[in-house]
Amino acid sequence: MKTSARLRTIGLLAAAFVIAAPLGIAHADKVMRVGMTASDIPTTGGIPNNGGEGFRFLGYPAYDALINWDFTHTDKTADVTPGLATSWEVDEVDRTRWVFHLRKGVKFHDGTDWNADVAIWNLDRYFKQDAPQFDPPNAAVAVARDPYVAGYRKIDDWTIEIANPRPISYFPNMATWILHVSPTQFAKTGSWAEFAKAPAGSGPFKITEFK
């Protein structure tokens, strides 16, 4: 999906954002300063605050979801596109369950491999209150953005299942709000507050500095 060769850097300044959006033409030796309508600098831990603007500037550039938005077209409304999952479908027997087939060969910015265990670890961050990595502030945002995650499980190393409380045809659109981060970087930094200072996602841009 995205490899280190495609990474670009993002530096964040208190008044001006040094950020390259996915649709922009970016080079490692160039800087793009972009203004935004937000009350403060969005948080960097993988589920940014400040609403849609937060996700636009410090969510989607640095992180991926199972399903991403397709920002490759400027002449039409974005639709969903494969992200950390290459495909997905509703279970034929139980229409409340979605099966996601995960993308192979993805590495986070710190070199950590992506797989089903990492996907479940990330879902536990948001939806399992007794998990060591449970993150109350970001969980509150994630649950508010996607309140339709009733359960989930690993099927095999490259397949997971997510259950909804009822059949929801538009769940793929909601899945774009749940962004995934490196569990190795969280273990290395020791807390979500420290992780936010040196985050690791799998998106096309890497956050290298936060001020």
Q: In the chain, how many domains are there?
A: 1
Contact 153, 88 (CB under 8 A): no
What Å distances lie between residue 142 and 45, 125, 192, CA to CA? 12, 10, 15
Q: For residues 175 and 199, what is the distance between their CA atoms, to the nearest angstrom? A: 21
Question: Which residue has 């530096």 as its token pair?
Answer: 11
Per residue in 122-179, pLDDT (tens digit) is: 999 999 999 999 999 999 999 999 999 999 999 999 999 999 999 999 999 999 999 9
Per residue in 81-112, pLDDT (tens digit) is: 999 999 999 999 999 999 999 999 999 999 99
Per residue in 55-73, pLDDT (tens digit) is: 988 999 999 999 999 988 8
**What's the chain's average pLDDT?**
87
Query: The domain that contains 59 carries what CATH number?
Result: 3.90.76.10
The range of the structural domain enclosing residue 204 comes to 4-210
Q: Which long-range contacts (CB under 8 A, 24 or more apart) does 151-154 make?
A: 152/120, 152/123, 152/127, 153/120, 154/116, 154/117, 154/119, 154/120
Supply the pTM of this predicted model.
Answer: 0.84
